[in-house]
Amino acid sequence: MRTKHTNIKGSESELTTFHKSLDFYIFIKPKRTLSELVDIIFDRVQDILGMKKEYPAITIQLCSQDALKSNWKTYNKSKVPKAFYVHKSHTIFINTKTATKGILAHEMTHSILDNYLLVKPPRNTSEILCRYVDRNLGI
């Protein structure tokens, strides 16, 4: 699925689960499409950071916990997170069952920081900004 800022990859059931996790609903239809929600979150992250510009499209790879773990081990050997961003491929790997707006915004922040700044920020600095955005998303 293509949005203004991203390419979302996953099965139909993963897309549905991801949509439900971003736009809470039980017995009613969602208020916004998945592509609208993802782009709203991306635009909000840009606003919070004050880093508006065109970016390379981010791939959002929807994963089960096992697939996330497998992908994580390719890049790292520490504890498996709920989501992570890989700069080389501009890809966010995210567990569809534990996804939230905040987690997606956090990973989008990594992407924006890595593509906006001429020099990648130190990991701790990046994490501070990502947590700030996550907690101040307000949508």
Q: Which helix (H) or strand (E) holds 61?
A: strand 58-63
pLDDT of residue 28: 56
pLDDT of residue 29: 60
Residue 107 pLDDT grade (very low, low, confident, very high; cuts 50, 70, 90): very high
Residue 63 covered by a domain = yes
Residue 95 covered by a domain = yes
pTM above 0.85, yes or no: yes
Residue 51 covered by a domain = yes
Q: Mean pLDDT across the stretch 16-28?
A: 76
- Give the neighbor-by-neighbor strand order of the sheet with 91-95: 6-9, 58-63, 91-95, 83-86
Which domain CATH number covers 21? 3.40.30
Q: Per-residue DSSP letters for 64-123?
A: -HHHHHHHHHHH--S---SEEEETTTTEEEEETTT--HHHHHHHHHHHHHHHHSSSPPPH
For the stretch 25-46, pLDDT in tens is 555 566 789 999 999 999 999 9
Residue 13 pLDDT grade (very low, low, confident, very high; cuts 50, 70, 90): very high
For the chain, the domain total comes to 1
For the stretch 45-103, pLDDT in tens is 999 999 999 888 999 999 988 888 888 877 776 788 899 999 999 999 999 989 999 99
Residue 1 covered by a domain = no
Residue 62 covered by a domain = yes
Query: Which residues are CB-contacts of 130 (< 8 A; sequence separation ≥ 6)?
Result: 106, 107, 109, 110, 113
Residue 108 covered by a domain = yes
